Amino acid sequence: MTKQKKKTKVDSERRAFNKDWIPKYFFTEIDNKGVCLLCNQSVAVLKEYNISRHNATKHGNYGNNLSEAERQTRATELDRKLARQQKVLVKSTLAQKSSTHASFMVAYHIAKHSKLFSDGEFIKKCMLDVADQVCPEKRQTFEEVSLSRRTLARRIETIGENLTSQLKGLVLSFQLFSLTLDESTDVDDTAQLLIFVRGISENFEITEELLSMESMKDTTTGGDIFECVENAFRTMELPWQKMVSVTTDACPSLTGRMLVY
């Protein structure tokens, strides 16, 4: 039985762009893709057949009345125009990334220092006043930094999800770990259970972090606390068999006659 030869994917082949295609088909190369200078559509595979087919199908009559020198001049003009557009696009993308990054930085500090989301609008006014005095030409850049309450809420939520994801990856590397439980109440008089974890990796790196904060709405019995711990374990995918000890704040729920742990 003959072994069937594997077919090579065309898009995985490295094909060189021929500069003669610029005046011939009004095509140029951007990021290893052929881009039409007339409609800016791209051809994924740098193959003359694909490029010529696009030119014939989309722009069959374009340039028929132009001489070779005129086609060369026209293609060069279009190529330079597209290059300028690409530079503007890159600058715009970089500016947008910087504005988003700045917004995340402000959101991080607001969350870290427990400030109101509405403080973001006050901060932006201060930023614009400083920009007017120090660098008026950059005012538009500061204007594009979004610090509205809704934006800051989304940013802080994203930061929280990212930190949780990082912590989850970290605790999964623990060889052994211990817990510390601290029961307290917040400003709304709602019972909160703070769960701290301290673990060691196979490289003997010790990490101590807040694992979770669980709310207890109704009662705060030992069983309720156990459910909170169990929920944190389930969320962070922690294995019970690697836990070696639990330290508590000596609250009555954990030090009564009927011990939960």
Domain boundary among 86, 104, 132: 86
- The rounded mean pLDDT for the chain is 81
**Into how many domains does the chain fold?**
3
Encode 213-252 in three state secondary structure: EEEECCCCCHHHHHHHHHHHHHHHCCCHHHEEEEECCCCH
CA nearest neighbour of 246 among 199, 202, 181, 190: 181
Q: What is the pLDDT of residue 8?
A: 45
Higher pLDDT pick, 223 / 14: 223
Element (H, E) at 144: none
Shared domain for 196 and 249, answered yes or no, is yes
CA nearest neighbour of 251 among 208, 211, 207, 216: 216
Domain boundary among 86, 118, 140: 86
Shared domain for 188 and 248, answered yes or no, is yes
Shared domain for 52 and 124, answered yes or no, is no
Confidence check: pLDDT of 89 > 60:
yes
Q: What is the pLDDT of residue 156?
A: 94
Question: Mean pLDDT over residues 32-44, rounded?
Answer: 79
- What whole-number percentage of the chain has pLDDT above 90? 26
Most confident of 54-63, 122-131, 220-229: 122-131
Q: Which domain holds residue 45?
A: 15-86
Each residue's pLDDT tens digit, 146-178: 999 999 999 999 999 999 888 888 888 899 999
Q: How far apart are CA 254 and CA 247, in angstroms?
A: 10
The b-or-e profile of 248-259 (16+ CB within 10 A means b, else e) is beebebbeeeee
